[in-house]
A and B are shown apart, each in its own frame.
Chain A
Amino acid sequence: MASLVPLKEKKLMEVKLGELPSWILMQNFIPSGTVGAFQRGYDRYYNKYINVRKGSISGINMVLAAYVVFSYCISYKELKHEWQRKYH
């Protein structure tokens, strides 16, 4: 499948799901590069949802929901044993 733009220069939202592993491997892994990527992501989210004139509560609710889902994934292993089933 031929893409018009080289993979390395695409932003994260434009990378297709199948290309994700190769995209991640192609990024530069120097510490300042990784920190810069996180800082850019943080700034983009902040400026889009929180730093607006009439920011609503959903700006921070999305962060909290993502945190809950992340915590669920982390504790999935222990939660597996607590499902309601007839024979444990």
Chain B
Amino acid sequence: MNENLFASFVTPTMMGLPIVILIIMLPPMLLTSSKRLISNRFHSFQQWLIKLIIKQMMLIHSPKGRTWSLMLVSLIMFIGSTNLLGLLPHTFTPTTQLSTNLCMAIPLWAGAVILGFRHKLKASLAHFLPQGTPISLIPMLIIIETISLFIQPMALAVRLTANITAGHLLIHLIGGATLVLTSISPPTATITFIILALLTILEFAVALIQAYVFTLLVSLYLHDNT
């Protein structure tokens, strides 16, 4: 049971070839592009969704921050679609791997911070000292703020990994429990099945929310630094 539980998180290879590359390339293939003004239902739906996302997210930014819209919208579409595809049975979700999330989090955070240091050096350094702190606390507070700055990319990556992995594990465990309980005591199995249904609904929500949170935080770091 122990080995089986984590077997679904192994990077899929077929005869030594990493098919994980193909699996990561699948969500972009589902997001269509069209040369027409009015296109088919599928593409119009995606257009509507992307317009909603852009309006929500990029409203608070200055024109300089809005140059990042393409990056942020691609980010949220990628994470959202990857998480949702991971809810299908037997599939592999790249966002469960810490490596993927670190690769997404560190460059974006570093880009935002370096942008802030290059263009608004004083304001970026001023972030280390919140207003109105007592003078005696200043040294310690600066150390704490520095640590909290450097922990941001780690937190971004680990938050996404842990949330999605935990959700998948719970589904595996409770589904396995339901299956075994059907032969032992059907009423308990019914209760467990209801729990499973609720959990699946939660997982759908979590998939989308995690994408949103990741992107929102990156945009927040951007806002601080532009």
Task: Report which A residues bind B (CB closer than 8 A).
Answer: 42, 46, 50-55, 59-60, 63-64, 67-68, 71-72, 74-75, 78-79, 81-82, 84
The B interface, classified by DSSP as helix, strand, loop or mixed, is: loop
In the complex, the answer to whether B91 meets A55 with C-beta atoms within 8 Å is no
Determine the chain B residues whose CB is within 8 A of the CB of A84 once the complex forms.
179
Question: A75-B8, A78-B7, A81-B4 known; A67 and B41 CB under 8 Å?
Answer: no
Say whether chain A's binding surface is mostly helix, strand, loop, or mixed.
Answer: helix
Size category of the B interface is 20 to 34
Within 8 Å by CB of A74, from B19, B32, B40, lies B19
A72-B90 contact, Cβ under 8 Å, with A52-B40, A78-B4, A82-B4 = yes
Q: Does B14 contact A (CB under 8 A)?
A: yes
Q: Does B111 contact A (CB under 8 A)?
A: no
A68 to B88, Cβ gap below 8 A?
A: yes
Partner of B92, one of A53, A64, A71: A71
CB nearest neighbor in B for A82: B4
Instruction: Choose one: B12, B19, B88; the contact of A64 (CB below 8 Å).
Output: B88
Q: How far is the CA of A78 from the CA of B92 in the complex (A)?
A: 13
Q: Which residues of B contact A52 (CB under 8 A)?
A: 40
